[in-house]
Amino acid sequence: MDRTDATTPCPRESLGARLVRAGRGIRWYVTTLMGDRAYDVYVRHLRAHHPAAQPLTERQFWRQRSDEQDRNPGARCC
């Protein structure tokens, strides 16, 4: 049984293409880790699970998120 994993590079893939793919993966990881994609995730969730609801504007979302973190700091260092 020949099974190709999605993370295994294609043998014909050039080094440049592998570097671009790795760079995109790193960028995705860092932006997700830092919360940069939080608003997009929120909007996708709202549309999928609550289609009639009106999403907050991006500014309202970040203000609400910041206020919530200030009220409940959790494991933050600051």
Q: pLDDT, tens digit, for every residue of 4-45?
A: 555 666 678 899 899 999 999 988 888 777 777 899 999 999
Q: Is residue 28 within a helix (H) or strand (E), and if so which, with residue range?
A: helix 15-33
> Which pTM was predicted?
0.57
Does the pLDDT of residue 1 top 60, yes or no? no
Does the pLDDT of residue 77 top 70, yes or no? no
Q: Can you tell me the distance from the alpha carbon of 64 to that of 56, in angstroms, rounded to the nearest whole number?
A: 9
Residue 31 has a CB neighbour count (10 Å cut-off) of: 13
pLDDT value for 40: 92
